[in-house]
């Protein structure tokens, strides 16, 4: 079978791989869609933590189930996606119902080879039913579940002001699910075209350009002087993360969804006097995946809105570097097979 391998930072090569064979507890998927996310792009440019080369990228996947062992109710030929965070089932996190932060986590396309291939073998427990969704929609369930999990971590109450920093695909998903939870969302980014996307496509009422010198004044005006009670970072930028502690209201929660390699720092007195809460949000759970699918089925989320670029698998290698360029206006690139 044909695969696309990231051999070193900045280098992708098509190679011939071995088509997976049936195995106990495993499922084989005929891959039809691969969504390109920040993790893939960061791996390509050499800035992704927890990464080793060579690696077949890809974890935002949709395809047709070929066969599966120990997968009650699943049938060959049906559309599926996967929960691409393969967990051990034995560690403290797994035993506590948090397989999304398993101590032995293996993420498809990060720690182990992923789905930029014609076929992929996965643990049968990772399968998620298509439930009538298209391949495009199914490939977008995972990134939206990341956002849904961050919103769940924040525990948003109806009417709260929720500042979401970073209007990339993950940030946009956070905004959508924060609105579904009843939050009043404020979108922040340095890219004005992405802020326009927030206003025009997602109907976000409040947007703030992070390059502005009047951010504090704008946030105070929007929140009637209170500042946001929830701040969620989706940038993965150390500067943005460190800078955003000052945007928190007293009693606020700050959720880190974005990931970067270095340390974070903040003023302890300023954080302490707010009795603030800082938490991370890693991956997503099956409950988040099901929540996303339900919201798609109800029409609360239109995932295809995010797709701005589309290429065939054979064109992915030559297109990949262009998706790193903000001037292309890429939000979500989708690779098609079959």
**pLDDT tens digits for range 252-269:** 999 999 988 889 999 999
State percent of the chain over pLDDT 70.
Answer: 100
- The verdict on 7 and 68 lying in the same domain is yes
- The verdict on 329 and 218 lying in the same domain is no
pLDDT score for 338: 83
The C-alpha atoms of residue 319 and residue 323 are separated, in whole angstroms, by 7
Sign of CA dihedral 55, 59, 64, 69: positive
- The verdict on 254 and 310 lying in the same domain is no
Contact indicator for 116, 58 with CB cutoff of 8 Å: yes
State percent of the chain over pLDDT 90.
Answer: 92
CATH for 262:
3.40.50.720
pLDDT at 49 over 80: no
In this structure, is residue 226 part of a structural domain?
yes
CATH for 324:
3.90.180.10
In this structure, is residue 297 part of a structural domain?
no
The C-alpha atoms of residue 124 and residue 38 are separated, in whole angstroms, by 26
- The verdict on 258 and 179 lying in the same domain is yes
- The verdict on 310 and 239 lying in the same domain is no
pLDDT score for 157: 97
Torsion of CA 108, 257, 222, 208, to 10 degrees: -60
**pLDDT tens digits for range 64-83:** 999 999 999 999 999 999 99
Average of per-residue pLDDT across 233-252: 96
pLDDT score for 274: 98
- In this predicted structure, which of 24-28, 38-42, 158-162, 217-221 has the lowest mean pLDDT? 38-42
- How sure is the predictor about 38, in pLDDT bands with cuts at 50, 70 and 90? confident
Q: In whole angstroms, what separates CA 195 from the centre of its chain?
A: 19
Tokens of 243: 């800078």
Name the burial class of residue 228, with classes exposed (0-12), middle (13-18) and buried (19+) by CB atoms within 10 angstroms of its CB.
buried
pLDDT at 327 over 90: no
pLDDT at 160 over 90: yes
Q: For residue 185, what are the domain limits?
A: 147-280
Q: CB under 8 Å to 16, separation ≥6 — which residues?
A: 1, 2, 3
């Amino acid at each position: 079978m044909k695969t696309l391998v990231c051999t070193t930072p900045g280098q992708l090569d098509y190679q011939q791989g071995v088509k997976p064979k049936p195995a106990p507890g495993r499922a084989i998927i005929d891959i039809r869609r691969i969504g390109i996310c920040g993790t893939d792009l960061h791996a390509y440019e050499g800035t992704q933590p927890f990464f080793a080369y060579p690696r077949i990228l890809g974890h935002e996947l949709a395809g047709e189930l070929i066969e599966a062992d120990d997968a009650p109710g699943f049938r060959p030929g049906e559309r599926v996606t996967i929960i691409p965070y393969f967990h051990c089932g034995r560690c403290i996190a797994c035993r506590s119902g948090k397989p999304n932060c398993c101590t032995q986590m293996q993420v498809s396309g990060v720690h182990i080879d992923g789905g930029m291939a014609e076929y992929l073998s996965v643990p049968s427990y990772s399968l998620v039913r298509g439930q009538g969704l298209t391949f495009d929609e199914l490939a977008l369930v995972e990134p939206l579940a990341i956002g849904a999990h961050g919103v769940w971590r924040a525990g948003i109450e109806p009417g709260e002001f929720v500042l979401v920093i970073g209007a990339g695909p993950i940030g946009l998903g956070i905004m959508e699910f924060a609105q579904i939870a009843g939050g009043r969302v404020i979108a922040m980014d340095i890219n004005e075209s992405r802020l326009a996307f927030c206003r025009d496509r997602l109907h976000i009422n409040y947007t703030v350009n992070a390059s502005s010198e009047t951010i504090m004044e704008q946030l105070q005006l929007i929140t009637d002087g209170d500042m946001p009670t929830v701040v969620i970072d989706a940038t993965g930028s150390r500067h943005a993360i460190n800078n955003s502690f000052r945007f928190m209201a007293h009693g606020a929660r700050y959720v880190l969804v974005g990931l970067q390699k270095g340390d974070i720092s903040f003023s302890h007195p300023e954080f302490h006097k707010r009795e603030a809460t800082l938490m991370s949000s890693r991956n997503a759970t099956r409950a988040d995946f099901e929540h996303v699918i339900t919201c798609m089925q109800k029409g609360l989320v239109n995932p295809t809105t995010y797709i701005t670029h589309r290429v065939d698998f054979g064109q992915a290698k030559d297109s990949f570097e262009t998706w790193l360029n903000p001037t292309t206006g890429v939000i979500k690139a989708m690779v098609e097979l079959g």
